[in-house]
Structure 1
Amino acid sequence: MKGPTILIIDDEPDICRLLQLSLVRHGYNVKYVHELGAGLQYLQKQQPDLLFLDIHLPDGSGLEALPIIKQRCPTLSVITISAYDNAMEKQTALQAGAAFFLAKPFSVKHVDELIDHMKSA
């Protein structure tokens, strides 16, 4: 049975695996890529149900790509993730269309709560 799909764009393999473990338990199919360019290519071909987008990637800024992503996929819910938990970055992400801002490091419990919240909204 195919469930909803989540795309993770993050350059840290451990973060991708942690998110994948948590999200698969919620019934999601999870795809991840480690570069912004690969994520944008994926989004040109298909739209996931949810996107986890790292803000600081080796080949570009997720924060700068967010308005482009939202223009291409206006109904896509995006959760931005960053190792830098500062108010200015969070505000910029939310203003650009992110549904949530998730600061690293985060726990599986925190991701579970976030997914439960999004499902009930």
Structure 2
Amino acid sequence: MKGPSILIIDDEPDICRLLQLSLVRHGYNVKYVHALGEGMKSIQRQQPDILFLDIHLPDGSGLDALPAIKQKCPTLPVITISAYDNGMEKQKALGAGAAFFLAKPFSVKNLDELINSIKS
């Protein structure tokens, strides 16, 4: 049986693998890409059930892309992730439609709590 799908758009391979390993344990099918353009194409091909979106990507800002993503997929839960947790980015991300903000570095426990809150 195929579980819900998650797309991760993040340029750090280690973060992608950590997220993938943790999320697969929760029954998700996880795909990741390392660039915003590639991620936007993937969303157009098949909308995931949950999106993890890095704010700072080599080919653009996830924060700038968030309104377009939410316009195309208004019910898609978007979890923004960033190493810059100064409060301003979190406010901007949540204001632009993100469901959650996950600061790097994060623990598996933080991720598990986040996934459990999305499931409920």
Query: TM-score under structure 1 normalisation?
Result: 0.98
CA distance in 2 between counterparts of 1:105 and 1:14 reads 11
Distance in 1 between residues matched to 2:86 and 2:77, nearest whole Å: 21
Amino-acid identity (%) = 82
Residue of structure 2 in register with 1:70 after alignment: 70
3-state SS of 1:30 partner: strand
1:65-116 Cα distance to aligned partner (Å, 9 max, x none): 0000000100100000000001111000000000000000001111001000
Aligned equivalents of 1:21, 1:42: Cα separation in 2? 20
TM-score with structure 2 setting the length: 0.99
List, as ranges, runs of 4+ consecutive aligned residues in structure 1 with deviation greater than 2 Å.
Answer: none
Q: 5+ unaligned residues in a row in structure 2: which ranges?
A: none
Which residue identity does 2:65 align to in structure 1? A
Give deviations 1:13-60, integer Å, cap 9, x for gaps: 000000001000000000000000000000111100000000000000
CA RMSD of aligned residues (A): 0.4
**Match of residue 49 from structure 2:** 49
Residue identity in the other structure for 1:114: L
Q: May I ask how many residue pairs the two structures share in their alignment?
A: 120
Report SS of the residue matched to 1:80. strand
Separation in 2 of the partners of 1:16 and 1:109?
Answer: 16
User: 2:28 aligns to what?
Assistant: 28
